[in-house]
Amino acid sequence: MANEKILVVDDDKNICELLRLYLVKEGYNVTMAHDGGAALTEFEKLHPDLVLLDVMMPVMDGWEVCRKIRAKDNTPIIMLTAKGETYDKVLGLELGADDYIVKPFDAKEVTARIKAVLRRSSKEEDSKGVYDFDNLHLDMNRYELKVKGKVVEAPPKELELLACLAGHPNRVYTRDQLLDEVWGFEYYGDSRTIDVHVKRLREKLEGASDKWNLKTVWGVGYKFEVRE
């Protein structure tokens, strides 16, 4: 069960209560606020693990709340809004929002998004590690990949994908899970992104070792297979 603290901010008290019921059922500790000013006050008191933040609110809108939180904290923020225009989504991203959900939404979808964002957030520190396997050295502090002792140039997302898989040897990830872990919601649903990046990684890793392999699990996804 989850124990994370969630701050739900929306001037519609019915929406707040609906979300509270679902989140408490999932094991989260929920605090509610109904305007932007109260949101910042509760944020300072609570130090939540994640903020669900409505955009259109009295006292201070969600954009300003997001801006003020981001000025001093990296707590994950999911924006809730009735607006679905691209401009609003881009603005949310520029201000540092981690996800963006358009009303009306299904509460189950919200809880799924919360889990995905928290999972990505909690693994940020883990992913900034060093992974060593036979003829493979990946240093995410430097974003450096070495194969057979030689530095191999690779874009950041390829390295993050490899770190996700190599950080959990023999665990099978679906494409959607990898999208959640590495790309986040911006590329949600476009599983071809994963296939292309895996293909490029394989080209760079080809023939490096027979002790591990970037393997396709047909009908499921991918894993970094390590042989005993």
Statement: residue 93 has pLDDT above 70: no
Locate the domains of the chain by residue range.
5-123, 155-226
Statement: residue 96 has pLDDT above 80: no
How far from 117 is each of 101, 102, 113, 185, CA to CA, in Å?
A: 12, 16, 6, 9
pTM, entire model: 0.56
Lowest mean pLDDT of 54-63, 64-73, 122-131, name the range. Answer: 122-131
Q: Give pLDDT, residue 91.
A: 67
Look at 91 and 66; give whichever has higher pLDDT: 66
Q: Give pLDDT, residue 1.
A: 44
Share of the chain above pLDDT 70, in %: 87
| Contact between 27 and 53 (Cβ < 8 Å) | no
Statement: residue 22 has pLDDT above 70: yes
Q: Give pLDDT, residue 186.
A: 52
Give burial (CB, 10 Å; 0-12/13-18/19+) of 203: exposed
Q: What is the average per-residue pLDDT within 121-126? A: 61
Statement: residue 208 has pLDDT above 80: yes
* Rounded CA separation 82/115 (Å): 22
* Rounded CA separation 98/80 (Å): 11
Q: Torsions phi, psi of 215, nearest 5? A: -105, 140
Superfamily of domain 5-123: Response regulator (3.40.50.2300)
* Rounded CA separation 170/164 (Å): 11
The CATH architecture one would assign to domain 155-226 is Orthogonal Bundle (1.10)
